[in-house]
């Protein structure tokens, strides 16, 4: 079964149609880029898959189960757009907190944290408070907490937002690392460059509609 198979997804906020009947196919083990301008509906789509938002109409599956199935949600990781973790927590505490939310026993959570910190290059900063971090460092902790339950699919909503060019390259490498580990990465971005550098498959979302989708080479070839 594919990682995500959206047959039909519609979402209205009041009378405003944020998603106007979207279909998407995300193969397992790939990086899938959902590209589109701000307001296109990218966050709404991801939030619908994660049941943070209640879709108006939804047919499809995720990891072989109906979208929204509890069992499936435990196999996903999520870095929301503009994620804000409390400034007074340390990087280590943020990841431990996410582990707790994911239902991971404290001892096991603690065991996983060093490798995650290493993975995102934050080993040396683990016990400093988020208030002392740059935006890029916060995003790295955001990535680490999204991986704490060893998810099959990781949803990253504009992960490089506000991050400097060097940090963007680092985040790209981490996304590639997630794919190497066999995870599916669902990447929301409004930056063509960012998506084409890392994604295998791309869908372009404009005003709640997918206007194009396919392998990244196919889309960039057409310019
Ligand atoms: P994107 O992630 O592509 O920037 P969003 O999914 O955040 O797009 O938003 C899509 C559209 O839906 C925007 O016009 C936004 O203002 C609107 N929207 C998002 N959330 C809500 C909400 N809770 N209530 C009403 N409108 C919303
Ligand atoms: P972010 O950009 O941090 O994702 P927003 O500022 O777009 O968040 O939205 C903050 C909250 O308001 C979210 O819960 C979002 O769903 C909601 N929201 C966004 N756009 C609208 C809108 N046009 N009308 C009502 N609520 C909205």
What is the whole-number distance in angstroms between the Cα of residue 42 and the centre of ligand 1?
8
pLDDT confidence of residue 221: 67
Q: Number of H helices and number of E strands within the chain?
A: 8, 10
Closest CA to 151 of 50, 14, 61, 55: 50
CA angle 131, 156, 94 (to 5 degrees): 35
Check pocket membership of 39 for ligand 1, CB cut-off 6 A. yes
Structure confidence at residue 220 (pLDDT):
67
pLDDT per residue of the chain (223 residues) written in tens, 0 to 9:
999 999 999 999 999 999 999 999 999 999 999 999 999 999 999 999 999 999 999 999 999 999 999 889 999 999 999 999 999 999 999 999 999 999 999 999 999 999 999 999 999 999 999 999 999 999 999 999 999 999 999 999 999 999 999 999 999 999 999 999 999 999 999 999 999 999 999 999 999 999 999 999 887 665 5
How far does CA 46 lie from the centroid of its chain? 8
The predicted pLDDT at position 222 comes to 57
The atom number, within ligand 2, closest to the CA of 81 reads: 4
Distance 93 CA to ligand 1 centre (A): 31
- Whose CA is closest to atom 23 on ligand 1? 13
Q: Give yes or no for residue 43 CB within 6 A of ligand 2.
A: yes
40 lines ligand 1 (CB under 6 A): yes
What is the pLDDT, as a whole number, of residue 218? 86
Q: pLDDT tens across 173-182, in order?
A: 999 999 999 9
Residue with CA closest to ligand 2 atom 24: 13
Bridge pairing between strands 4-13 and 201-206 = unpaired
Task: Give me ligand 1 centre to Cα 48, in Å.
Answer: 12
The question of ipTM being above 0.95 is answered as: no
Identify the residue whose C-alpha is closest to ligand 1 atom 16: 39
Strand partners, 77: 154
Kindly report the protein residue whose alpha carbon is nearest to atom 21 of ligand 2. 13
Contact 205, 46 (CB under 8 A): no
Phi then psi for 205, rounded to 5 degrees?
A: -110, 125
131-146 pLDDT, tens digit each: 999 999 999 999 999 9
């Amino acid at each position: 079964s594919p990682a995500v198979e959206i047959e039909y997804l519609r979402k209205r906020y009041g009378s405003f149609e944020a998603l106007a009947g979207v279909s998407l196919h995300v193969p397992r083990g790939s990086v899938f880029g959902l590209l589109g301008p701000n307001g296109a509906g990218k966050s709404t789509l991801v939030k619908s898959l994660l049941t943070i938002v209640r879709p108006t109409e939804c047919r499809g599956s995720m990891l072989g189960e109906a979208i929204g199935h509890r069992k499936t949600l435990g196999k996903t990781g999520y870095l929301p757009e503009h994620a804000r973790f409390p400034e007074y927590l340390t990087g280590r505490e943020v990841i431990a907190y996410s582990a707790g939310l994911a239902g991971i026993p404290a001892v096991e959570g603690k065991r996983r944290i060093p490798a995650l910190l290493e993975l995102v290059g934050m080993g040396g900063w683990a016990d400093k408070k988020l208030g002392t971090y740059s935006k890029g460092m916060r995003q790295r902790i955001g990535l680490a907490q999204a991986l704490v339950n060893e998810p099959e699919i990781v949803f990253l909503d504009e992960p490089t937002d506000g991050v400097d060019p060097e940090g963007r390259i680092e985040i790209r490498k981490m996304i590639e690392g997630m794919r190497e580990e066999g995870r599916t990465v669902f990447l929301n971005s409004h930056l063509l460059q960012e998506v084409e550098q890392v994604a295998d498959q791309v869908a372009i979302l404009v005003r709640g509609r997918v206007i194009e989708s396919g392998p990244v080479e196919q889309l960039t070839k057409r310019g």
